[in-house]
Structure 1
Amino acid sequence: MGNKYIFPEGFWWGSATSGPQSEGSFNKKHKNVFDYWYEVEPEIFFDNVGPQVTSNFYNSYKSDIAMLKEIGLNSFRTSIQWTRLIKDLETGEPDEDGVRFYNGVIDEIIKNGMIPVMNLHHFDLPVELYNKYGGWTSKHVVDLFVKFAETAFELFGDRVKFWATFNEPIVVVEGQYLYKFHYPKLVDGKKAVQTLYNLNLASAKAIERFRTLECSKDGKIGIILNLTPAYPRSTENIEDLKAAKIVDSFFNNSFLDPAVKGEFPKVLVELLEDDNVMWESTEEEMSIIKNNTVDFLGVNYYQPRRVKAKESNYDDSLGWMPDKYFDNYEMPGRRMNPYRGWEIYPKAIYDISINIRDNYNNIPWFISENGMGVEGEEKYINEKGFIDDDYRIDFFKEHLEYLHKGIEEGSNCFGYHTWTPIDCWSWCNAYKNRYGFISVDLKTQEKKIKKSGNWIKEVSKNNGF
């Protein structure tokens, strides 16, 4: 039987992880906010598993990367940890062991026939920059990030041709300053809004620096955004539509618009000004954002968001929050991933591709994460001792069918990366939900290819399925 879905020539079939979720904290010179949070509140983390070892990539990267080759991946994204690469956070001077390690990783990826995609920030702010300056609320921290970025570009830009400044920057805003799921767990709308602005500025400044360097003249730089389209409860109800528009402008377009168009959504700017929580910016900064847009976009897609007009009373004691403009809506009959509590809605991947085609200059983009986290996967172990994760294969197929439709209709998508190649550590959830093509036994660190790993190998070989 022939393959029904064939993808464009040179399509990326790959997978993504991050430094803090895979490397372990061996030999790191600094602690990030998660390292610190685990020290002070280990019980918050599932089964008390912290970031010290994770999937041991720091020690086993050669054999791990060989396994990625074995399952047919042609590209691989991870991140460079600020806390590992940089010795002196103020000057951006690198640490010798960090340089050795990342050189080894990048060389190994290339040696195994894969394209390395390197991201610079995956929620892992050095905790001393939070304690000293207030983290991402500070423009000094923005400038320190640019120094770190420049060090990375200079060291690795001869081999790394695809860079991303940030992964899911809106999550930093939500987790640290709105919904208390990342350290320091504050509820502070004003700080949230300033952080949102500063992260956009940091990305644009890093891009500006990248383009001045000799080592990056044949490289490309982008950003990785988690796009979670807001679907209104009713497309007939004007208040529901308005709520969805506000949700999109805060949670999606607040990074998408500056990254691709160099400006913030008007809806958002007017709302923040009316509510008196507007960020502090200068004309010079706004022109940096305007003139340093991305070469490509990475899109992490997991679930849709369903919203309705505000019906509950907003708790004013919380101060300003975007939640005063909408309520989340539980759509009857939605399909759920019960382990993660997330809706499964593959069609959104098509809606995203058409939105990028029509409203964002049809910029080159790729799916940088898509995946299904499942708890207790050991119950799917077959008699040979491997995990039969057919549910994951079905999940990927459904999403790829909709992505294929978007590409057929002219969306400029050049790749599909899953989350994640090897089961990895996931913030407060630690190893509760597994996402990998490859399983890891935390006691022995033994790694085994799941059924989905053999499946992706065929897909990559045939450039379709």
Structure 2
Amino acid sequence: MKFIKDDFLWGGATAASQIEGAYDAGGKTLTLLEMKPFLPIKDRTAIHFGGQTKEEMLESIENKKNLHYPKRFGIDFYHRYKEDIALFKEAGMNVYRMSIAWSRIFPNGDDKEPSKEGIAFYRNVLTECKKAGIKVMVTMHHFDTPYEITKKWGGWKNREVIDLFVRYAKVLFKEFDEMVDYWLPFNEINVAIWSTEVGLGVFESDFNSKSERNSAAYQGLHHQFVAQAKVIELGKKMCKLQTQFGCMVANITTYSLDCNPINEMENLKSQQISRWFFYDVVAKGEYPNYIKRNWKENDINVNIDEQDLKLLKNNTVDFISFSYYMSATVAVELSQKASGNVSMGGKNPFLKATEWGWQIDPIGLRITLNQMWDRYQKPLFIAENGIGVLETLNDQNTVEDNYRIEYLSEHFKQINEAIKDGVDVFGYTMWTPIDVVSASTNEMSKRYGMIYVDYDDYHNGTGNRFKKKSFEWFQNFMKTKEL
């Protein structure tokens, strides 16, 4: 079977906090993600976002307990980016989705001037990508609110952080406009609701009640919606005409566990609150009625003024990007649960799952693409998709990762089918082209990449890169487009 779209973008995605290391280079400050230590995982299928007390995170600044903080070291991309981008080119990637760390540009969030060292680093990375003939999609905020923003401003629950973020975006547009093809203001913006620490830079332990916590989460999310709209408005004025601006949502595709109307209704409500709401705001520019009812019934209070609504309506995204790793089931009463990217769901008896309990559902990607195209009629981009596995190098210094080849191949086939269905999907970046520190569990041993990085969970190892079998498979796919 041949992939039918010649101009499709194929590549990989990474996040600054999971690859760069050099956490204090050029005056860079810590983010909340870099304040979380690695702790041995007792249950891989549990949800691991958050879980630390405020006191534990504050103790991490001086590290008096001598714990290991993996995201402070990443895979040393800061020093090895040329080597890694050369490998991306060798694999055949024609697009790279990367993130820029806010705290590397404005270490304190509100500095008078941006960091020259930070700007120089990203200019070097982007220059290397352009030399390699690789298009670039940049995420401006990938779960890495600077701790200084949390300390001084209270994170995204404070409306003034909007202006700080727009100021940061202005510097990125000014410095890197000609080098970036696509901009995403926020990664998986809906994570704000599931983890205020990860999504908003707000300590979960600061809240005294569920109502207070949820009100702050949605208020912080609203501020991010407004910030995204302002960034799009600014970018349209500052950037070259062909530059595109998108969103990024952690997509949660679910099915009713059975055909019981009660469970069908439960799934509809789940999809509205966990999925469609976020797309509706950024793609249609409107808060849907169902979220207003949800807020009213759950004592959630969000301050939204008329100017915010006009801004959202007038600055919707050019394209929709999303992560898709798995699907789940929904019912009023679930007897068996399954893990997922940002939330738990129900088990599906027709699907296999990874060691982390994420259910593998390639057809679900085709369903997702059709649903979103029918609903929004905006170009679609799959920003994250991949499989995390425990892996070690064999005697030939490679990994025979046939399971990854199968996973990628089956998802590629379903993208092809969606295009035949008439869906306008223009690109795909796997998570990830190279092993990285896990966002949620802080593991190096949860490996997603086509390229093996020789570090363990405590960063013992050489850090050297080795090609897995999937690297050669993808390289061949890019040459032949045969599925």
Please report the TM-score for the alignment, with normalisation by the length of structure 1. Answer: 0.89
Q: 1:219 aligns with which of 230, 243, 266?
A: 243
1:113 correspondence with 2:138: no
Query: Which residue of structure 1 lines up, in the alignment, with residue 311 of structure 2?
Result: 288
1:412 correspondence with 2:424: yes
Identity %, equivalent residues? 31
How far residue 41 of structure 1 moved from its aligned partner, in angstroms, is 6.8
Q: 1:262 aligns with which of 271, 279, 285?
A: 285
Contact 2:193 2:214 in 1 (8 A): no
Contact 1:269 1:278 in 2 (8 A): no
Classify 1:438/1:211 alpha carbon distance in 2 versus 1 (closer, same or farther; 3 Å): same
Q: 1:165 aligns with which of 163, 185, 203?
A: 185
Partner amino acid for 1:140? Answer: E
Query: Which residue of structure 2 lines up, in the alignment, with residue 315 of structure 1?
Result: none
How far residue 87 of structure 1 moved from its aligned partner, in angstroms, is 4.5
Query: Which residue of structure 1 lines up, in the alignment, with residue 91 of structure 2?
Result: 71
Partner amino acid for 1:297? Answer: I
**Mapping of 1:118-157 within 5 angstroms?**
118-157=138-177
Partner amino acid for 2:428? Answer: Y
Classify 1:81/1:133 alpha carbon distance in 2 versus 1 (closer, same or farther; 3 Å): same
Separation in 2 of the partners of 1:347 and 1:272?
33
Partner amino acid for 2:170? Answer: E
Contact 1:30 1:126 in 2 (8 A): yes
How far residue 429 of structure 1 moved from its aligned partner, in angstroms, is 2.9
Look up the SS of the partner of 2:247 in the other structure: strand
Query: Which residue of structure 1 lines up, in the alignment, with residue 396 of structure 2?
Result: 384
How far residue 132 of structure 1 moved from its aligned partner, in angstroms, is 2.1
Classify 1:293/1:91 alpha carbon distance in 2 versus 1 (closer, same or farther; 3 Å): farther
Separation in 2 of the partners of 1:84 and 1:180?
18
Classify 1:49/1:35 alpha carbon distance in 2 versus 1 (closer, same or farther; 3 Å): closer
Query: Which residue of structure 2 lines up, in the alignment, with residue 335 of structure 1?
Result: 352
Contact 2:200 2:220 in 1 (8 A): no
Classify 1:347/1:92 alpha carbon distance in 2 versus 1 (closer, same or farther; 3 Å): farther
The number of equivalent residue pairs is 438
Classify 1:332/1:161 alpha carbon distance in 2 versus 1 (closer, same or farther; 3 Å): closer
1:190 correspondence with 2:215: yes
How far residue 238 of structure 1 moved from its aligned partner, in angstroms, is 2.2
Contact 2:146 2:201 in 1 (8 A): no
Gaps in structure 1 of 5+ consecutive residues:
313-325
Look up the SS of the partner of 1:158 in the other structure: helix
How far residue 17 of structure 1 moved from its aligned partner, in angstroms, is 0.2
1:32 correspondence with 2:31: yes
1:356 correspondence with 2:372: yes
Contact 1:243 1:307 in 2 (8 A): yes
Partner amino acid for 1:82? Answer: W
Contact 2:191 2:199 in 1 (8 A): no
Q: Which moved more, 1:436-445 or 1:328-337?
A: 328-337
Partner amino acid for 1:424? Answer: V
CA RMSD of aligned residues (A): 2.4
Q: Which moved more, 1:84-93 or 1:267-276?
A: 84-93
Separation in 1 of the partners of 2:349 and 2:199?
28
How far residue 194 of structure 1 moved from its aligned partner, in angstroms, is 1.4
How far residue 404 of structure 1 moved from its aligned partner, in angstroms, is 1.1
Separation in 2 of the partners of 1:104 and 1:144?
25
Look up the SS of the partner of 1:433 in the other structure: coil
Look up the SS of the partner of 2:397 in the other structure: coil
Q: Which moved more, 1:201-210 or 1:118-127?
A: 201-210
Separation in 2 of the partners of 1:111 and 1:135?
37
Contact 2:334 2:346 in 1 (8 A): no
* 1:136-182, Cα deviation, whole Å (9 max, x unpaired): 111111221111111111110022121111110112321227x9998
Q: Which moved more, 1:219-228 or 1:388-397?
A: 219-228
1:462 correspondence with 2:469: no
Separation in 2 of the partners of 1:149 and 1:256?
22
**Mapping of 1:6-17 within 5 angstroms?**
6-17=3-14
How far residue 123 of structure 1 moved from its aligned partner, in angstroms, is 0.2
Classify 1:201/1:16 alpha carbon distance in 2 versus 1 (closer, same or farther; 3 Å): same
How far residue 216 of structure 1 moved from its aligned partner, in angstroms, is 3.4
**Mapping of 1:267-282 within 5 angstroms?**
267-282=290-305
Classify 1:382/1:444 alpha carbon distance in 2 versus 1 (closer, same or farther; 3 Å): closer
* 1:87-129, Cα deviation, whole Å (9 max, x unpaired): 4522673101001000000000010110011110100001121
Classify 1:354/1:240 alpha carbon distance in 2 versus 1 (closer, same or farther; 3 Å): same
Separation in 1 of the partners of 2:200 and 2:120?
33
Q: 2:449 aligns with which of 422, 431, 436?
A: 436
How far residue 65 of structure 1 moved from its aligned partner, in angstroms, is 0.5
Classify 1:429/1:207 alpha carbon distance in 2 versus 1 (closer, same or farther; 3 Å): same
Contact 1:18 1:122 in 2 (8 A): yes
Partner amino acid for 2:359? Answer: E
Query: Which residue of structure 2 lines up, in the alignment, with residue 175 of structure 1?
Result: 195
Gaps in structure 2 of 5+ consecutive residues:
38-56, 336-342, 456-460
Q: 2:226 aligns with which of 201, 204, 212?
A: 201
Contact 1:340 1:433 in 2 (8 A): no
Classify 1:463/1:93 alpha carbon distance in 2 versus 1 (closer, same or farther; 3 Å): farther
Contact 1:299 1:366 in 2 (8 A): yes
Classify 1:373/1:395 alpha carbon distance in 2 versus 1 (closer, same or farther; 3 Å): same
1:345 correspondence with 2:350: no
Look up the SS of the partner of 1:94 in the other structure: coil
Separation in 1 of the partners of 2:139 and 2:201?
20
Classify 1:41/1:50 alpha carbon distance in 2 versus 1 (closer, same or farther; 3 Å): farther
Separation in 2 of the partners of 1:112 and 1:166?
26
Separation in 2 of the partners of 1:97 and 1:72?
30
Look up the SS of the partner of 2:179 in the other structure: coil
How far residue 233 of structure 1 moved from its aligned partner, in angstroms, is 1.3
Look up the SS of the partner of 1:366 in the other structure: strand
Please report the TM-score for the alignment, with normalisation by the length of structure 2. Answer: 0.86
Classify 1:181/1:309 alpha carbon distance in 2 versus 1 (closer, same or farther; 3 Å): farther
Q: 2:436 aligns with which of 424, 430, 435?
A: 424
Classify 1:327/1:396 alpha carbon distance in 2 versus 1 (closer, same or farther; 3 Å): closer
Separation in 1 of the partners of 2:24 and 2:466?
23
Separation in 1 of the partners of 2:109 and 2:199?
26
Query: Which residue of structure 1 lines up, in the alignment, with residue 41 of structure 2?
Result: none
Separation in 1 of the partners of 2:257 and 2:137?
38
**Mapping of 1:300-339 within 5 angstroms?**
300-309=323-332, 328-337=345-354, 339=355
Query: Which residue of structure 2 lines up, in the alignment, with residue 317 of structure 1?
Result: none
Q: Which moved more, 1:420-429 or 1:100-109?
A: 420-429
Contact 1:91 1:147 in 2 (8 A): no
Separation in 1 of the partners of 2:74 and 2:170?
28
How far residue 430 of structure 1 moved from its aligned partner, in angstroms, is 2.5
